[in-house]
Amino acid sequence: MTLLAGMDLGYGSQVQIVRTNYLVVKDSAAATSQQCANFLDLYNHVVSQNARAGGSLLTADYIVCSANAPSDVSTAKPSNVLPLVATSGANVAFGGNHANPTSKKDGTQLRALAVLSLTAVEFTDATFTAGAYVPVVLADNITAQVGAELLIDNMGAVADDTATTGLIPSTLNLDGMFDDMAAALGTGTVNLNSIADADFVRHGNAAGTTPTALSDYTIGANSVGLVSVVVLARTSA
């Protein structure tokens, strides 16, 4: 999550503008959720290293696979790994809402007041240094539609976000955007399960072991993309 702005006084002290990025990977076969989390960790390291000013708008908060759900999706999984969007209703956590984002029982969750922007890019190379805009195709892939979903969820009339009447949602319905992203990605794939969790080595490990590199994965052309949403949210329930 990138905190873009906050307000200091009164009601505004609870309001933030946050960017949330979702890394979308067209995987060649179902990997474990930890293998997905490992790839997210490596991706974030790579784009941070590529950034000239030490930070990057490309850093992702969550990872979701567009072809295969994690093989252990029904068990406990890292909080930054989302299930296959097509089977989860595309109601996804945002802004670091890890604890029970669907039940909305945690009063510290960020609540979406408005969706300010929604966009996506696909990477056109295997090093995440070139990309292309993902155009809007589906009617529900527009900011106004996603904003309307917030209002409908707040009514509690539709079980869209485990809807609770009167409670501001802590998830976003990004179904159209994820569908457009999946359609835009090419025929190439990423073999996430090619590196077992036990063999994955993070950068900066205490033992000084050579870390896993991006080149250790087989990354096909146009097989990875990034969905980015900017939300005005408040921190109270």
| pLDDT 10s digits, 197-224 | 889 998 887 777 889 999 999 999 899 9
Which residue in 99, 119, 222 sits closest to 170, CA to CA? 99
Per DSSP, what are the bridge partners of residue 120?
227
Residues found in the chain: 237
Average pLDDT along the chain: 80
| More confident: 100 or 158 | 158
pLDDT of amino acid 104: 43
In the chain, the number of structural domains is 1
Give first-to-last CA distance, the chain, whole Å: 19
Nearest CA to 170 out of 89, 87, 113 is that of 113
Residue 3 is classified by DSSP as E
Question: Residue 34 belongs to what domain range?
Answer: 2-234
Which amino acid, one-letter code, is at 150? L
CA 180 remoteness from chain centre:
15
Which tokens hold the place of 131?
């990309």
Residues 172-200: what's their mean pLDDT? Answer: 88
Quickly tell me which residue has 């933030």 as its tokens: 16
Q: What is the pLDDT of residues 83-141, one digit of tens each?
A: 766 544 567 888 876 544 444 444 457 888 889 999 999 999 999 999 999 988 876 66
Q: Which residue has the higher pLDDT, 32 or 158?
A: 32
Q: Which two tokens stand for residue 148?
A: 């309307």
More confident residue, 26 or 175: 26
